[in-house]
Amino acid sequence: MTYSANLGLFLTLLLGIIVVPGMDMLFVLANALTGGRRAGLAATAGIMTGGAAHTIFGALGVGLISRLSPTILSALLYAGAAYMTWIGLTLLRSSIAIGDVGAAKTRSLWVAFRQGAVTCLLNPKAYLFVLAVYPQFLLPHYGPIWLQALVMGIMTVAIQFAVYGGLAMAAGRGRELLVSSPRATATIGRLAGILLIGIAIATALR
């Protein structure tokens, strides 16, 4: 697989995961609906900061493991593929729905930003996901790990801004769509599940 194809696969996976309604999306919606667009964008910026930190964590982990023991890295690849398959199956079986969004407990743009960053940084599932996914895409034969991670980090925050920032800009319509269309949100989750399983299988075969 070429580096461009590898990045394209990562971008597809990233988009599929970010658009699945979850804690980050709810946090942005709550701030945008109760504090306006600026509060929603501030919350988005906090989540983007957390996403950048996860990228650094993933790059450091992959770089360290690949230097210490290639065997451990190979084992992590298969373990990551198994974990991604489990997430995919969970998404396929679950019915994702967004309920009424309550009021956000933010009183300033700084608080919205800080809470967004902390919420993202303290999410243990995010670290597990990074450790499962990044070894599949940060491969030494594509060049320096730090440079690959930089590109992936930029892609991550760009997609977060596009999805969450766009939702903050159109909070009213976004809330109405998510709350009133449970079938649509469930379909998004199931499509993301299929995508995860497919990438896990491709990783195992590769």
The pLDDT assigned to 151 comes to: 93
Q: Is residue 27 part of a domain?
A: no
Q: Is residue 116 part of a domain?
A: yes
pLDDT (tens digit, 9 = 90+) per residue, 60-104? 877 776 666 666 656 656 665 676 677 667 656 765 555 555 555
Cα 124 to Cα 76, 121, 129: the distances in Å are: 18, 8, 9
pLDDT (tens digit, 9 = 90+) per residue, 45-60? 999 999 899 888 888 8
* Domain encompassing residue 180: 37-96+105-205
Q: Is residue 180 part of a domain?
A: yes
Q: Of the ranges 6-10, 26-30, 180-184, which is most confident?
A: 6-10
Q: Is residue 192 part of a domain?
A: yes
Mind giving me the DSSP string for 126-195? HHHHHHHHHHHH--GGGS-HHHHHHHHHHHHHHHHIIIIIHHHHTHHHHHHHHHH-HHHHHHHHHHHHHH
Q: Is residue 161 part of a domain?
A: yes
Q: Tell me how many domains the chain contains.
A: 1
pLDDT, greater one: 183 or 206: 183
